[in-house]
Structure 1
Amino acid sequence: MKLLFTVIISLIISSNSFSQYSNPESVTYDPVGKNYYISNTLSQKIVKRDPSGTVTDFATVGSSIYGVTYYNGNIYVANGNRIRGYSIATGTQVFLDTVTGATFLNGIAIDSTTGILYASNFASGLNARIYKVNLNNGESNAWANLPRQPNGVYVDKARNRVLVCSWGANAVIMGVPISDSTSVSTLITTPYANLDGIKLDRNDHVYISVYSSTGSVVRYDINFSFPAFVVASGFSNPADIYVNRWTDTLVVPSANTNTVLFFPLSIPTNISQVNGVISDFKLNQNYPNPFNPETKISFSVFSKGVVNLSVYDISGKLISTLINSELNAGEYEYNFKSNGLPSGMYFYKLKSGNFTETKMMTLIK
């Protein structure tokens, strides 16, 4: 017996329009309104992206606008040495706290159970700190001193810690216990320079953006026991990424190209059994080809393992990672939708263990 998996995947590509994004820096999500909010360092604005993909201005903040996060009907943003909050309902400012001692607040993360916001001070030496801001009463204080210049932060409530990624060569991931901010530990020293955003998905995989002109997003296991897996690459300065745990979507703001890209992290499946035996790994030619607007990509997995299926443009630039997860042996069929892509030739590549195969497909509109 073999399994036939019918999988529907939509490739969601944001517009490159300068009027939409202007050095996008950080992303957050309102699960009630189902809107994304993106900070832009050049335009000094937060913009809103609705479920249809329409982008509109939400709030003008001013210079030094960086990390954003959602909490209790408001969008909070790091702004120099201040934390500002804006009402989703009205777009007006409803919160302002000047954080004493802070010089450059950058990454921010919220403990949604307490209303405590953690913000990195993007500095080295004695100023390498995490500040704590109570959104309920506006009180703030220096919370943790760090051995490396901090950037992205994430509240890992299940393990009672705040995760912090650092800037600089051989950047590290640090863990700070919520109950004891003096016990800072280095969880892993990475081979990468300049880590930016850090987020967890629903399966507790850790996603980290590597900020460079040839940047990438990598994934670690929750204990950092194994080397990182490259989820997606070819970005120009990927900044403070977001993982949407409601929709299983990785969101990557690419600062230098004024784009925000969306990648599915989980695959909805309909499973039926048919007769047959899987004898090897195999990537089949898509059908139909040429296609518009969608085509089927099928392949066989001989043994259980991590499978990566990605699409590239004719220059070899990554367009999207369609799947990057462990699959059982079986035959898979993907209905690939080309939403937002121009006509042209594209490559799709299948990788699993030592197996790699690439084929070409043509989109004609």
Structure 2
Amino acid sequence: MKSLKYFIFIFSFVIKYAMSQCDSSFVSFDVIPSNVNILSGDSCFYNQDLEALEDLISVNQLQYNSVLDIGTQSWFNGRLKLFVAGNYGNSSGVNDTIYILPESIGNWTSLSGLYLEWNRISLLPETFNMLKELRSLYISNNILGSVIEDMDSLSNLIYLDLGYNEIDSIPSSLCNLNNLQYLWLFNNNLTSVPDCMCSMSIDWSSDDSAWFPYFAIGGNNLCENVPECISSSENFNVSLDQFYYSFQVESPQECGSVMVDPIDIVPTSLSVNDPYPNPFNPGTSFNIRLIKNGKLKISVYDIKGNLVDILINNNLPAAAYTFKWDASEFSSGVYFIEIKTSKETVYKKAILAK
């Protein structure tokens, strides 16, 4: 009996020891932070995936105790499958701004989902084309001026969100993304798009069951020689709200500009300060300066995109104004204040905390 117990003890020890060991290409971690989700496998993580995370932290001088602490991570059999690193201001993303993506990001060859919203990324590294398993790429609200030329290397993409950047051209290789179902290009600096886009199997005018458009390209400079599938799209002048993508907004193309003397150029039609206080209860105020005479409409929407209040909808002379929103009759939550003139629309987020 003793020999049997001894055998079981030795066998259990050997199994436990063997299970704690990783292949030479992987590293084991004793403690797994709560932001890391292991979908399959054990606590062994691929060296090169970790190296890219470490480089990302280092080059942007982010403050993390471990490479596993950054963002939200999902791993499958030791490979990074999902990485959420948007600068959302909460624990699901990064704790500071990402400016640079290191070349080693090409190590993430098993990555299927990448979320980098609300950072200040201006360039995608050449190795980005190595992310061939990528299915979802959300990189809105950055300062990208372009995308990689060989976009078709990301052949598994289904969701592509490039909204609210500074992109001025789209390569024709985008047309070869045969699996793409969602394409959001709104609020960039596009003056043209490839004619071949009409060969893509995208529903140019419809929304899905959650009211998200499959395609949207409002707020650009598409004024001439626009492919018919895009110019006739019901979403040609549509964007999503900049903060939470919770509702669609009208964003016309910027066309019809004329040459004027530079000294006569007015950079914007209005200036809007952030609401204060924010969070607030029950009221918050904000200052607006109208540069020119014109119509001003101020609307308030809830988090679901429902119109809940209109503060003003009148023609006003150019001047400085202060508006207050009394939310005493509304429930706690996130609201969006839409300040709209004939030339420009600005959104401000306000949080009612009762």
Which structure ranks higher in relative contact order (CA pairs < 8 Å, sequence separation ≥ 6)?
Answer: 1
| The structure with more helix, counted as a fraction of residues | 2
Aligning the two structures, in what range does the TM-score lie when normalised by the shorter sequence?
A: under 0.3
User: What TM-score, normalized to structure 1?
Assistant: 0.26
User: What TM-score, normalized to structure 2?
Assistant: 0.27
| The structure with more strand, counted as a fraction of residues | 1
